[in-house]
Structure 1
Amino acid sequence: METLTIERITKEDLAKLQQISIQTFHESFSALNSEENMNDYLTTSFSAEKLSAELGNQSSQFYFAIVDAEVVGYLKLNLGEAQTEIKDNHALEIERIYVLQAFHGKKVGQLLYDKAIQIAGQINASYVWLGVWENNNRALSFYKKNGFAEFDKHIFRLGTDEQTDLMMKKNLINN
């Protein structure tokens, strides 16, 4: 693998963000979900309008992982009121870390995660939290390896399917 860079995403990157969002989510979850539910979720969650609004939110940040001028993954972070649930000004939510399957196992996800922890430090966050589908064993293992522990559960709707996400957090104070 050539040099990997992490770059902040801007509104001008909307089309690239939409493409990587759909591709990585589809690669990650299509085998375990119905085509109808996948299509419904991809169409609504990654529409140009929804992503544009997310990009425009001052309390959210997006970053691309780029290898040889190709976007191979991305990260979405939420602060304060942009957080999907807790909305704690002393916390940072990692809402999305997604990497193309061809780049799994090549430290891309780890570098995106490291970027999130760097930003958490810059804002003096007490902890970082996220939600992970209970059946996403690869992600659960990744977060446990990085020091996250489960603290709650919530429902994630994928089309008509109600799925359980495990909510995990990592304390940053005294770490």
Structure 2
Amino acid sequence: MELDDIALRSCTLKDTAALALVGAATFLEAFAGTLDGEAIVAHCAKQHSVETYTKYLSRPDCKIWLAETREGAAPVGYAMLTQPDLPLPDLSSDDIELKRIYLFSRFHGKGAGQMLLDQSVTAAAEMNKRRLLLGVYRGNLRGLAFYRKNGFVDAGIRTFMIGHRQYDDLILSRPL
């Protein structure tokens, strides 16, 4: 599949089921084998439910774009911007968080991830934000390389629990 075969569109409340499915499936694809089975299933059930995406899309500070195949409009990934929820001492209303950028691995390296990131950067700049922030799992070396290639630098660390285990995200930032 080539980049010309992928299209982005803004999400509405009608897209919550697709977002929940893609969110859970891509999270499982990325972290199965890293996270405990019971914990990853519980995490996906909570964080990637239709209700969760309904709440996000009901917020005025949240923007989500769905990546779909042009033929058949099958969802393959998405990007979401929200008000930041990160433990940074210099956080301000001029910041925005790339809360999620998820893409099925078979589409990695073909430009779809770059298209989602570029859309997010453009939208954040149009919102007059000064800095784009994100958290990425410390062990996600491919993701870290992608973000660093796109001008993100280390800004902090966030710890979080999934099940009974603690994990670290690196918080990255990029000026807009």
After TM superposition, is the score higher than 0.5? yes
Kindly indicate whether the alpha-carbon contact (under 8 Å) linking 1:77 and 1:116 is maintained by their aligned counterparts in 2: yes
Instruction: Tell me what 1:44 maps to.
Output: 46
- 1:25 pairs with 2:27: yes
Kindly indicate whether the alpha-carbon contact (under 8 Å) linking 1:92 and 1:125 is maintained by their aligned counterparts in 2: yes
The C-alpha deviation readout for 1:52-81, integer Å capped at 9, x for no partner, is 111111111111011221111100101xxx
Instruction: Tell me what 1:100 maps to.
Output: 104
Instruction: Tell me what 1:157 maps to.
Output: 161
Instruction: Tell me what 2:139 maps to.
Output: 135
Instruction: Tell me what 1:16 maps to.
Output: 18
**SS at the partner of 1:96?**
strand
**SS at the partner of 2:33?**
helix
CA RMSD in angstroms, aligned pairs only: 1.3
> How much does 1:17 deviate?
0.9
Kindly indicate whether the alpha-carbon contact (under 8 Å) linking 1:9 and 1:62 is maintained by their aligned counterparts in 2: yes
> How much does 1:159 deviate?
2.3
Kindly indicate whether the alpha-carbon contact (under 8 Å) linking 1:94 and 1:128 is maintained by their aligned counterparts in 2: yes
Q: For the residues of structure 2 that align with 1:70 and 1:47, how far apart are their CA atoms?
A: 19
**SS at the partner of 2:92?**
coil
Q: What amino acid does structure 1 have at the position aligned with 2:39?
A: N
Instruction: Tell me what 1:90 maps to.
Output: 94
Q: For the residues of structure 2 that align with 1:159 and 1:44, how far apart are their CA atoms?
A: 12
Q: For the residues of structure 1 that align with 2:118 and 2:29, how far apart are their CA atoms?
A: 23
**SS at the partner of 2:85?**
coil
Unpaired segments ≥5 residues, structure 1: none
Kindly indicate whether the alpha-carbon contact (under 8 Å) linking 1:65 and 1:74 is maintained by their aligned counterparts in 2: yes
Q: For the residues of structure 2 that align with 1:117 and 1:126, how far apart are their CA atoms?
A: 11
Kindly indicate whether the alpha-carbon contact (under 8 Å) linking 2:36 and 2:163 is maintained by their aligned counterparts in 1: no
> How much does 1:83 deviate?
2.0
Unpaired segments ≥5 residues, structure 2: none
Q: Once the two structures are aligned, what percentage of the paired residues are identical?
A: 29
> How much does 1:88 deviate?
2.3
> How much does 1:162 deviate?
1.2
Q: For the residues of structure 2 that align with 1:91 and 1:102, how far apart are their CA atoms?
A: 31
Q: For the residues of structure 2 that align with 1:105 and 1:167, how far apart are their CA atoms?
A: 23
> Structure 1 stretches (4+) deviating beyond 3 angstroms?
none
> How much does 1:156 deviate?
2.1
> How much does 1:40 deviate?
1.2
Instruction: Tell me what 1:56 maps to.
Output: 58
1:115 aligns with one of 105, 108, 119: 119
Instruction: Identify the range of structure 1 (139-148 vs 87-96) with the bigger mean alpha-carbon deviation.
Output: 87-96
